[in-house]
Amino acid sequence: MTIRATFSRKPAVVLLAGLLLLLPATGDACRMYAAIGANLPDGMLYDHLRGDDTDFPYALYYLAPQNDDGWGIGYYPQFGGLPTIARGEPMAQNDPAYMATVVAIDTPPEPQITLAHVRKGTSGCYNVPNPHPFYRDKVGKRWLFEHNGGVNKTRMEDLIGSAYLASNPPNGSGIPACASGVVDSELYFLFVLKKIEEYGWNVVNGSAAAIRAMVAAGETGAINFILSNGETLWAFRKGTSSHT
């Protein structure tokens, strides 16, 4: 099994699953988006995060009614810098802060890496701002991670191991309810980071090892993710077309 895509900083590359597949948002899954590039086309972020329903029916704004457990947008203004993260509890279409964030990041100079997410909560931590993208500081970088699909929390805790969990406890993106009621996606993030560390911070090899271990342990859920360390954007897809 291999990681589907690694996006470097040089091209302006976009991952927008809905647009790539031209499928409606169905099923119990979140929806996510990412973009990277030093010089993104003017208006691109606005179109893909809000747009209009004729030309951009799969913009996150229009996927929000089926994913109404909040929204999150994390972005790195500069390669190698710290990200800014904005979150909201209301559905994106009902939250003026979502539109304000979209307009802000679409104003030049646009961020060089952006991750965005609308949530369909399935594993706990409800009625709170969307904890995606999760963040973690490792090797002098702040990593961001977002996931759609679902994984078994008990299985993930077993794979991570008690020692690593004790030294890297879930932080719930700084949301107390999510730290105590751990979200499955954050456990997935921790396991991916653990394996990346074991592979000498080689993200592709470490992520592939994490995914293989999860599948070997019996994980059958959709495990799509987007990951960034502020320098590069990585994406992986495994799951049905309704979990993309």
Q: What is the pLDDT of residue 193?
A: 99
Q: What is the pLDDT of residue 126?
A: 86
Domain 5-236, second-level architecture: 4-Layer Sandwich (3.60)
| 3-class SS letters over the chain | CCCCEEECCCCCEEEEHHHHHCCCCCCCCCEEEEEECCCCCCCHHHHHHCCCCCCCCCCHHHHHHHCCCCEEEEEECCCCCCCEEEEECCCHHHCHHHHHHHHHHCCCCCCCEEEEEECCCCCCCCCCCCCCCEEEEECCEEEEEEEEECCCHHHHHHHHCHHHHHHCCCCHHHCHHHHHCCCHHHHHHHHHHHHHHHCCCCHHHHHHHHHHHHHHCCCCCCEEEEEECCCCEEEECCCCCCCC
Q: What is the pLDDT of residue 240?
A: 53
Residue 8, pLDDT above cutoff 80:
no
Residue 181, pLDDT above cutoff 90:
no
Q: What is the pLDDT of residue 221?
A: 83
Q: Report pTM.
A: 0.88
Question: Which of the two residues, 30 and 244, has the higher pLDDT score?
Answer: 30
The mean pLDDT value for 111-133 works out to: 92
Q: What is the pLDDT of residue 129?
A: 94
Q: What is the pLDDT of residues 37-90, one digit of tens each?
A: 999 999 999 999 999 989 999 999 999 999 999 999 999 999 999 999 999 999
Q: What is the pLDDT of residue 122?
A: 82
The mean pLDDT value for 134-157 works out to: 96
Of all residues in the chain, the percent with pLDDT exceeding 90 is 76
Q: Average pLDDT, whole number, for the chain?
A: 88
Residue 159, pLDDT above cutoff 70:
yes
Question: Which of the two residues, 91 and 222, has the higher pLDDT score?
Answer: 91
Q: What is the pLDDT of residue 18?
A: 31
